């Protein structure tokens, strides 16, 4: 019954929020809370801003989109700062159609859907409250009742600019129902709802020959002409087109460039002049954000046609590329799986990461910068430390190509292949190898992949496999070393003591005997060789470590296992090299003895308890790593 109680509470809350009064009462609300008279563009911007804004790495992160849009921080920041914000300030960009342009499954529809759901919720808050003339099918702004010649006086008194004229229907109602007394006109609070067609509209083009302009602007109700005597009587007109119903909020125009021209010209009039023509009436005012979306190929075809220049000049085009961060791509897959019927399936750790590595590689372009291959670029974009590169290099890489991320493998393809794997495997558990195998098998059937692309993509699958091999080995390594962090810390501290003594030409003191001894060259080289530090380069590497150590000490920070990426990698590889034989024997033995069996069971228990595996995926991981070590 809990859900019934929640529905009742929601109903009670809506009843509490309801308000009705006269226009005179409404003016008192406007005086105390001017934000209720804000424009549709201002409402959208304030809604996004109210969810929270965080400054991170010199970039504004808008929390409003944080729950569903991953890895598109730059595109979102541009959308808010270059369109919503200036449009909210009544600058000229609000007189443009907002066109989101990007590849399939890139997040365009999700952004629009979030804005719609956000407006529905925001209109139920005090900050986002919306009021309209009661009984108006277009939910008209009550301030349109103020006559044109008094609007400057109204601005002087209230500080609010009024745009738009009273609609033909409300002009007639004011005269017939209220005797011209605007102070008595009934006003009510409205709540945006796409389902109820209040403040949110959606238009989807169909066959231009059969689609009627009435879908946008409403139509004559012929059954009432006999009653009202004329087609030009506003009471004989149904103000039920998408432009009518989306007034005060926003209208989504799906696949806009597939629409017939006659539909697009109505949008231009609305965005540029704030009105549109319907029936045999004067121009009808409407205040709404028009947001459309399309893919890149249709957009290129559209702008190449000279006939569309006027339309193009009245659009603000916002590119929405694919995400280019591996960690964020993982989140996209997790979200899609959670929303599907396969959420009960156990996806082994790093399976989604392996798929994400492949997807991201397919979207990246080869850099012209020396020493940067696609794998390094992928790591840098994901915020990893790559020796020899910094944040400035990352920004330079991003500026190399304006269209990076506009093509490649889309998230839906990956989820489709994961689904296929689950159904085929008939076990409620899948691992990275299952996913990569399925991705590889599906490439032949992918409609948009050429033979040249196929070869490149197969190479990316191999790279993703190699990346996963390293992850898998480290995972087993950690599970075998019971106190991995402690072992790593001890080994690193020992290395740092020796490096410090070596660079400062000092001796070390034996902790047991107290006698002085030379730095342990054998130990230092055994660690440095793990990451390819040559005999000639060892001195420079050790001095680099000592400089980093001193810098941390000056800042009062502790130099730990994660403070130097290459040293961390060397420590990990050294620990694993020491363990390799034990792991190899234990994981590959077909008939393990009692001690090996005990060790295997301990490792499996640790993989399950601490690393997120289940018994099936843990056993599969051990067998796979055993085969890797025996190659």
What are the tens digits of pLDDT across the range 192-202? 999 999 999 99
Is the pLDDT at 223 greater than 90? The verdict is no
Is the pLDDT at 63 greater than 80? The verdict is yes
Is the pLDDT at 491 greater than 80? The verdict is yes
Distance CA 611, CA 607 (A): 5
Binned at pLDDT 50, 70 and 90, residue 208 comes out as: low
Long-range contacts of 400-405 (CB under 8 A, 24+ apart): 400/365, 400/367, 400/368, 400/369, 401/365, 403/319, 403/321, 404/321, 404/324, 404/363, 404/364, 404/365, 405/321, 405/322, 405/323, 405/324, 405/363
Binned at pLDDT 50, 70 and 90, residue 436 comes out as: very high
CA separation (Å) from 540 to 502, 535, 536? 12, 10, 8
pLDDT number for residue 483 = 55
- The answer to which of 79-93, 404-418, 440-454, 599-613 has the lowest mean pLDDT is 440-454
Q: What is the 3-state secondary structure (H, E, C) of 7-30?
A: HHHHHHHHHHHCCEEEHHHHHHHH
Distance CA 260, CA 207 (A): 9
Is the pLDDT at 589 greater than 70? The verdict is no
Is residue 141 within 8 Å of residue 164, measured between CB atoms? yes
- For 285, left (φ over 0), alpha (ψ -120 to 50), or beta? beta
User: Bridge partners of 485?
Assistant: none
Which is it for the CA torsion 270, 273, 274, 277, positive or negative? negative
pLDDT number for residue 484 = 63
More confident residue, 444 or 535: 535
Q: Which two tokens stand for residue 110?
A: 């999700």
Is the pLDDT at 402 greater than 70? The verdict is yes
pLDDT number for residue 228 = 79
- The answer to which of 147-151, 433-437, 478-482, 496-500 has the lowest mean pLDDT is 478-482
Going by C-alpha positions, the residue among 510, 494, 469 that lies closest to residue 624 is 469
- The mean pLDDT of 145-170, rounded to a whole number, is 94
- The mean pLDDT of 272-279, rounded to a whole number, is 83
DSSP string, 411-464: HHHHHHHHHHHHHHH-SSEE-HHHHHHHHHHHGGG-TT--HHHHHHHHHHHHHH
Residue 623 is given by DSSP the state: H
Is residue 39 within 8 Å of residue 90, measured between CB atoms? yes
Is the pLDDT at 498 greater than 70? The verdict is yes
Long-range contacts of 312-315 (CB under 8 A, 24+ apart): 314/95, 314/96, 314/97, 314/268, 314/271, 314/272, 315/96, 315/97, 315/98, 315/99
Going by C-alpha positions, the residue among 275, 305, 182, 278 that lies closest to residue 221 is 278
Is the pLDDT at 31 greater than 90? The verdict is yes
pLDDT number for residue 588 = 64
Which is it for the CA torsion 196, 199, 202, 207, positive or negative? positive
pLDDT number for residue 174 = 95
Going by C-alpha positions, the residue among 571, 579, 569 that lies closest to residue 625 is 579
Task: Give the pLDDT confidence of 462-479 residue by residue, as tens digits.
Answer: 999 999 999 998 888 778
- The mean pLDDT of 211-219, rounded to a whole number, is 82
- The answer to which of 135-139, 242-246, 343-347 has the lowest mean pLDDT is 343-347
Distance CA 27, CA 272 (A): 28
pLDDT number for residue 248 = 94
% residues pLDDT > 90 (the chain): 48
Is the pLDDT at 327 greater than 90? The verdict is yes
Mean model confidence pLDDT for the chain: 88
């Amino acid at each position: 019954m809990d859900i019934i109680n929640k529905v009742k509470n929601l109903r009670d809350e809506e009843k509490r929020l309801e308000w009705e009064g006269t226009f005179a009462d409404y003016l008192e609300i406007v005086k105390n809370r001017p934000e209720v008279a804000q424009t549709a563009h201002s409402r959208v911007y304030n809604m996004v801003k109210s969810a929270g804004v965080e400054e991170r790495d010199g970039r504004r992160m808008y929390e409003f989109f944080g729950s569903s849009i991953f890895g598109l921080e730059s595109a979102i920041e541009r959308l808010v700062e270059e369109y919503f914000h200036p449009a909210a300030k009544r600058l000229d960009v609000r007189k443009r159609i907002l066109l989101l342009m990007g590849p399939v499954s890139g997040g365009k529809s999700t952004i629009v859907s979030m804005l719609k759901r956000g407006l529905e919720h925001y209109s139920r808050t005090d900050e986002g409250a919306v009021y309209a003339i009661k009984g108006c099918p277009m939910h008209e702004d009550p301030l349109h009742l103020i006559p044109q010649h008094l609007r400057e006086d109204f601005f002087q008194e209230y500080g609010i600019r009024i745009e738009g004229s009273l609609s033909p229907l409300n002009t007639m109602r004011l005269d017939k129902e209220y005797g011209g007394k605007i102070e008595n006109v009934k006003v009510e609070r409205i709540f945006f709802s796409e389902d109820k067609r209040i403040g949110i509209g959606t238009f989807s083009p169909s066959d231009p020959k059969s689609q009627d302009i009435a879908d946008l602007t409403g139509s004559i109700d012929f059954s009432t002409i006999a009653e009202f005597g004329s087609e030009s009587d506003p009471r004989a007109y149904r103000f039920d087109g998408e432009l009518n119903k989306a007034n005060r909020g926003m209208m989504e125009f799906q696949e806009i460039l597939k629409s017939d021209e006659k539909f697009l010209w109505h949008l231009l009039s609305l965005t540029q002049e704030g009105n549109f023509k319907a029936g045999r009436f004067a121009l009808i005012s409407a205040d709404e954000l028009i947001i459309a979306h399309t893919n890149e190929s249709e957009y290129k075809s559209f702008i190449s046609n000279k006939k569309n220049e006027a339309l193009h000049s009245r659009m603000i085009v916002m590119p929405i590329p694919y995400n280019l961060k591996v960690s964020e791509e993982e989140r996209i897959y997790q979200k899609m799986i959670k929303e599907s019927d396969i959420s009960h399936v156990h996806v082994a750790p790093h399976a989604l990461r392996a798929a994400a590595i492949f997807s991201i590689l397919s979207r990246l372009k080869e850099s012209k910068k020396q020493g940067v291959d696609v794998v390094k670029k992928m790591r840098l974009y994901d915020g990893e430390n790559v020796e020899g590169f910094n944040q400035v290099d990352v920004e330079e890489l991003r500026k190399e190509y304006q269209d990076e991320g506009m093509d490649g493998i889309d998230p839906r393809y990956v989820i489709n292949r994961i689904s296929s794997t689950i159904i085929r495997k008939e076990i409620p558990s899948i691992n990275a190898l299952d996913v990569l195998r399925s991705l590889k098998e599906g490439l032949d059937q992918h409609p948009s992949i050429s033979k040249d692309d196929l070869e490149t993509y197969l190479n990316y699958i191999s790279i993703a496999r190699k990346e996963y091999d390293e992850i898998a080995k480290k995972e087993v390594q950690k599970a075998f070393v019971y106190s991995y962090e402690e072992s790593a810390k001890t080994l690193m501290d020992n290395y740092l003591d020796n490096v410090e003594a070596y660079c400062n030409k000092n001796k070390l003191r034996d902790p047991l005997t107290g006698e002085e001894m030379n730095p342990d060259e054998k130990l230092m080289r055994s660690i440095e060789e793990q990451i390819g530090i040559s005999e000639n380069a060892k001195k420079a590497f050790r001095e680099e470590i000592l400089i980093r150590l001193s810098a941390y000490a000056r800042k009062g920070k502790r130099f730990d296992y994660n403070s130097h990426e290459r040293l961390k990698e060397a420590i990990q590889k050294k620990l694993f090299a020491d363990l390799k034989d034990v792991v190899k024997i234990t994981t590959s033995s077909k008939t393990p003895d009692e001690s090996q069996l005990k060790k295997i069971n301990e490792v499996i228990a640790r993989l399950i308890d601490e690393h997120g595996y289940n018994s099936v995926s843990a056993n599969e991981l051990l067998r796979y790593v055993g085969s890797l070590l025996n190659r």
